[in-house]
Amino acid sequence: MDSNSVSCVVEARGLVREFATRGGPLVILRDLDLCVRQGESVCIMGPSGVGKSTLLHILGTLDEPTRGEVSILGRNPFEMTDGDLADFRNTDLGFVFQSHHLLPQCSALENVLVPTLVAPGTGQEKAERARRLLSEVGLSDRADYLPADLSGGERQRVAIARSLVNRPRILLCDEPTGNLDEKTASDVADCFVALQKREQVSLILVTHAPWFARRFDRVLHLKGGTLIPDGKSSAGLFPPGQTP
């Protein structure tokens, strides 16, 4: 990719994703471009079925594009060996999904610690970081609770703490407040915004909620397979100062 690419921690150029269907290829992403800088928060919106999760899966290295280039932290994830890719995902990327995916038999603290099992560092350092993150999401008194004994919002806050425990450079979130009532969703959104700024992680988040989207540096709409900058903000498809 060109020299402009250096400051993009996440970059997609000419991304295409087609699915083979009985009726022929179904094109979901069509010549899509994106650049996200370190520490930037970008919200992706769009109607159901437009391809938001498809895009997030590709940026999260969980799915490969049909065509086009993807660079994450300057590397092409799809040229890595399976082992390197698994390490890269665990260390540099954090994920939060609509459903929390916590391990039911593990406590909140143990769930936060799961990604650290194959990461460097001492057990004590990891436990201290996990406890601090739990405290920052307001759950210091719930560290020993099993997921079944936590509320939906509390479970999602555990998932946020877990996503950040390895200090990832990039956080990818697919409708993380989608299953929560308005007040709980708002509390979880507060958690995201505060932690994202403090950890200086680049955040790419999908939401249907306009009130949440307003809190991001940039809002992009997925339409016709490509991303379109939000008409209400001056921010474009690329960060300020970045020419495509």
Residues in contact with ligand ATP by CB under 6 A are 19, 21, 26, 28, 46, 48-54
Binding partner of residue 28 among Mg ion, ligand ATP, none, CB cut-off 5 to 8 Å per kind: ligand ATP
Of ligand ATP, Mg ion, none, which one sits near residue 51, judging by CB under 5 to 8 A according to partner kind? ligand ATP
Closer of 132 and 223 to Mg ion (Cβ)? 223
Strand order of the β-sheet with 8-21 is: 24-37, 8-21, 67-72
Count the residues of the shown chain that bind Mg ion, applying the rule CB under 5 A: 1
Decide whether 6 or 26 has the Cβ nearer to ligand ATP: 26
Provide long-range contacts, Cβ within 8 A and 24+ apart, for 187-192: 187/138, 187/153, 188/153, 188/156, 188/157, 188/160, 189/215, 191/136, 191/137, 191/138, 191/157, 191/160, 192/160
**How many CB atoms lie under 10 A from the CB of residue 11?**
24
Cβ-proximal residues to 98 (8 Å cutoff; 6+ apart), any chain: 174, 175, 176, 178, 179
Q: Which residue's CB is nearer to ligand ATP, number 52 or number 129?
A: 52
Q: Smallest distance from the beta carbon of 71 to ligand ATP, in angstroms?
A: 21
Taking the complex as a whole, the smallest distance from the CB of residue 100 to ligand ATP amounts, in Å, to 16
- Smallest gap, in angstroms, from Cβ of residue 44 to Mg ion? 10
Q: How far apart are the first and last CA of the chain?
A: 11
Shortest spacing between CB 174 and Mg ion, in angstroms:
6
**CA atoms of 10 and 212, how far apart (whole Å):** 22
Supply the minimum distance, in Å, between the C-beta of residue 51 and ligand ATP: 4
207 near Mg ion (CB under 5 A): no
Choose the one of Mg ion, ligand ATP, none that binds residue 143, judging by a C-beta under 5 to 8 angstroms depending on kind.
Answer: none
Residue 21 or 122: which CB sits closer to ligand ATP? 21
Helix (H) or strand (E) holding 221: strand 218-223
The entry of Mg ion, ligand ATP, none that residue 81 binds, CB within 5 to 8 Å by partner kind: none
Cβ(189)–Cβ(173) under 8 Å?
A: no
Please tell me whether residue 53 binds Mg ion under the rule CB under 5 A. Answer: yes
Nearer to ligand ATP, 33 or 87 (CB): 33
User: Which residue in the shown chain puts its C-beta closest to Mg ion?
Assistant: 53
Whose tokens are 């999401």? That residue is: 137
**% helix / strand / coil in the chain, to the nearest 5?**
40, 25, 35
Least separation in angstroms between residue 218's CB and ligand ATP is 18
Residue ranges that bind Mg ion, judged by CB under 5 A: 53
